[in-house]
Structure 1
Amino acid sequence: LSAGDPERLQTRITFSRGDVRDVPKLWSLLQGVDVVYHLAARVSVPASLLYPREYNDVNVGGTVALLEACRDVGIRRMVLTSSAPIYGNQTTEIVNEEMPPRPAVPYAVSKLAAEQYMFNIGMHSGFETVALRIFNAYGPGQPLPPSHAPVIPQFMQQVLGRGSVVVFGDGRQIRDFVFVDDVVQALVSAADAPHVDRQIINVGSGQGATINELIGVIEKVAGRSANVLHNTERPSGLSRLVADLEKAKQLLGYQPQTELFAGLQRLMDEDPIFQHLRPVADA
């Protein structure tokens, strides 16, 4: 939770602050644990271009350290939150798990390496492993850092605050935006689902939306018009990326429930960072 907020945790959760690379600390925390969810990572694509060594150190080195600890204490299964940018630019809009990885940025390279280390060490150490390739997740509680912010909370803040929405390129890039509750559904299912050992599984909404369409939906939710400015497209940007969900449906019983409008409405209504920006309803 180095990029999150411990105050958002439920009171029944025991929180221990530490470094994912600290194997002795991991030994103590993993005693008696059956399933490990590995969500610890650096996640900014632009930042990974600036700090590739740090991304390798945390995302790859931290994963290997956790795997060593899991091996030593004898867990049953690890569930890794991996990432859709591993696919890179493919020849089709909808991507399935059999497509060859084409990581175009250090972040994606680090997540692909983390997957491979997990499958390899798990196989040799006798515990099960599964990687969920999460697409563009969003929802209440998502951090909004001053630099390299995730696109949805950043755009929401800019539209609600009557600022300028900066779009890189023409805005026709296609993404798969998946609400956090649907991601949690997949994560929970992955703990006990049979026949998932050493499997890669997509987790998304299965629906594509262009960046321009995303802005349009945010405008409807916010009840305000966006002042859109276009900047030069980033060379590392992907033109289209939408999840094929057949494998997730078969292995996890996964079925996303939240459409984009409803998810953005919940984001605006439930996230306290937008509380002072929300439009006031007419009396």
Structure 2
Amino acid sequence: MKTYHGKQILITGGLGFIGSNLARALVGQGAHVTLVDSLIPQYGGNPFNIDGFADRLTVNVCDVRDPFAMAYLLQGKDYLFNLAGQTSHMDSMTDPKTDLDINANAQLSILEACRESNPGIKIVFASTRQLYGKPDYLPVDEKHPIRPVDVNGINKLAGEWYHLLYNNVYGIRACALRLTNTYGPGMRVKDARQTFLGIWVRLLIENQPIKVFGDGLQLRDFNYVDDCVEALLLAGASNEANGKVYNLGSSEVIGLKDLADMMVSLGHGGRFELVPFPPERKAIDIGDYYSDFSLISNELGWTPKVGLREGLQKTMAYYLAHHAHYWD
């Protein structure tokens, strides 16, 4: 990872969950890091996420939808980790135009700014497994049909393909990682806007029941944030990744009912209960999902290292200590 020492790095969504953890790793490697975040309350940016190393980087509070600010901030940067996005699937259905503006239109503006003023930059785009939709087969590899079930998936797909197009046509080195369920310190836990696992953490700490929709047999895979950060760094450092899309994932696959039981068994109290699917969530539920991540393993050498139980223990310990900074 000496790749990043002394380099100029821009992270969009940098005060958010994954962006702040990535920033910590890059600062530790001697990179010059600039964070961009709108700090719009519902999108997950939190200044406490960089507590302890805020004086070792630069923070610029602006919106990726501002083309002039982004064009200025991209000048002279060696790497862009493009993590800013509207991640709520439900919000994308109730406010689709905002989702379009952030996840598609803003991405095109960013790429145009790179083409015009910094074509030598390397970009890693954070995409999502949600764009596959309901799987035809498991585990899902990168050749699986693309069939988004919500507006968020469609717009994230557009953002992803803009990056690949600019790589292929204009030679702006770019790649995309399709993230699965990422969790860990810094994730949004005050509600379920980013991940259901976040609100589960809060409910456990508040000694309220975790609500598991349906029969709880839906299968999922999860990545602890440190593993996700390592994948981002490997993709940024590799020219092999240019123009490609990689799944992240885990060899640990678990049903949601068993996951809730595991979280309760960590020893912090709490319980879970099965509840009927809300109709609006049932309409966009994808059933079972877990990834085939062999492509990124074979080409970039990435494999997840943090086991699920270990990662959940670390996550719970973090929020037990710092929950005052993450919800009212």
TM-score, shorter chain, exceeding 0.5: yes
C-alpha RMSD of the superposition: 1.8
For the residues of structure 1 that align with 2:148 and 2:252, how far apart are their CA atoms?
22
CA shift, 1:153, in A, is 2.1
Of 85, 109, 122, 1:41 maps to 85
Of 42, 47, 65, 1:6 maps to 47
Q: How does 1:157-236 map to 2 (within 5 A)?
A: 157-232=202-277, 234-236=282-284
CA shift, 1:13, in A, is 1.7
TM-score normalized by structure 2? 0.80
For the residues of structure 1 that align with 2:173 and 2:244, how far apart are their CA atoms?
10
Which residue matches 1:279?
none
CA shift, 1:93, in A, is 2.4
1:76 paired to 2:121: yes
For the residues of structure 2 that align with 1:91 and 1:61, how far apart are their CA atoms?
30
Of 71, 74, 90, 1:30 maps to 74
1:121 paired to 2:162: no
For residue 15 of structure 1, give the secondary structure of its aligned residue in structure 2: strand
Aligned-pair identity in percent equals 29
Deviation track 1:54-91 (CA, whole Å, cap 9, x = no partner) reads 11111001111111111122233210000011111112
For the residues of structure 2 that align with 1:24 and 1:153, how far apart are their CA atoms?
34
Q: Higher RCO, 1 or 2 (CA under 8 Å, sep at least 6)?
A: 1
TM-score normalized by structure 1? 0.92
For residue 60 of structure 2, give the secondary structure of its aligned residue in structure 1: coil
Counterpart residue identity of residue 227, structure 2: D
Deviation track 1:25-54 (CA, whole Å, cap 9, x = no partner) reads 112211211111100100011111111111
CA shift, 1:8, in A, is 2.2
Which residue matches 1:280?
none
Contact 1:95 1:242 in 2 (8 A): yes
Structure 1 residue runs of 4 or more that deviate by more than 6 Å after TM superposition: none
For residue 182 of structure 1, give the secondary structure of its aligned residue in structure 2: helix
CA shift, 1:110, in A, is 0.8
More divergent stretch after superposition (201-210 vs 78-87): 201-210
Counterpart residue identity of residue 308, structure 2: L
Which residue matches 2:302?
254
Counterpart residue identity of residue 289, structure 2: L
Contact 2:179 2:247 in 1 (8 A): yes
Which residue matches 2:30?
none
Counterpart residue identity of residue 143, structure 1: R
1:85 paired to 2:130: yes
CA shift, 1:214, in A, is 0.9
For the residues of structure 2 that align with 1:154 and 1:256, how far apart are their CA atoms?
24
Q: Which stretches in structure 1 are left out of the alignment for 5+ residues? A: 277-283
Which residue matches 2:106?
62
CA distance 1:27–1:178, change in 2 (3 Å): same
For the residues of structure 2 that align with 1:140 and 1:205, how far apart are their CA atoms?
18
CA shift, 1:216, in A, is 1.1
Counterpart residue identity of residue 5, structure 1: N
For residue 132 of structure 1, give the secondary structure of its aligned residue in structure 2: strand
Q: Give aligned pairs, total.
A: 276
CA shift, 1:275, in A, is 7.5
CA shift, 1:232, in A, is 2.3
For the residues of structure 2 that align with 1:54 and 1:108, how far apart are their CA atoms?
14
For the residues of structure 2 that align with 1:120 and 1:150, how far apart are their CA atoms?
29
CA shift, 1:273, in A, is 4.2
For residue 228 of structure 1, give the secondary structure of its aligned residue in structure 2: strand
Of 45, 51, 61, 2:95 maps to 51
